[in-house]
Structure 1
Amino acid sequence: MDSIAELRARLRAFAREREWGRFHTPKNLAMALGGETGELLAELQWLDGEAVAEGLAHGPLRDRVADEAADVLLYLVQFAEAAGIDLVAAAHAKIDRNESRYPADLARGSAAKHTELG
């Protein structure tokens, strides 16, 4: 199972079996997504770059971060479905806009905002 469509179908069945659909409004799912994003951030909050790299290479930090990242993805997929957003199409459209806003010849190696590029 490796596509967004398959994941969406599995999530839909999971919620349906538990009769959770009435709770899965865009607002509630966005709030849950924000909470899970916070939990992901909390796993890395006070670690320096080296500790993060080492922890993500193996061990319990990697497992905890993987769980939190999965929660973020699951809520994002559910939010998009509830809001009627095609995530893959939206992501491609965003990349298209970013390609225009950040031309490679101007943005290469720069962390500048698109409004600051020469």
Structure 2
Amino acid sequence: MPITRNPQHSGAISGPSLITRNIRLHRGRTSIRLERLEWAALDAICRAEGLDRHAFASLVDRDPARKEKTLTSRVRSAILTYFVARAGMSIPGMGSRLVREFVSSGPEAATPEETRS
């Protein structure tokens, strides 16, 4: 059996690990590129919060607490922040209005009006 140089590509994962998908924002359509695990985490957040990917990305894009330069970075950071906060942990400087609303009051924190573009 040959030696695998990239262990992240062995096993049950097939195809490329980075996946690019289109996202609709209030300012138009764009694309972001996330790892399979990140897309799965984003989908889990969206199911738990009653949002779709587009609404979540729009909320993250408009969140003034997000200082990351690119939308992809803001989404990745929001995903991580969400799960850290849900686990009851805190990281200095982790403030995000979006995550605080979700964690403190559940899916009803983001009203349908806020999630529309």
TM-score w.r.t. the length of structure 1 is: 0.24
Bigger CA radius of gyration: 1
Q: Name which structure has the greater RCO, CA cutoff 8 Å, separation 6+.
A: 1
Q: Which has the higher strand share?
A: 2
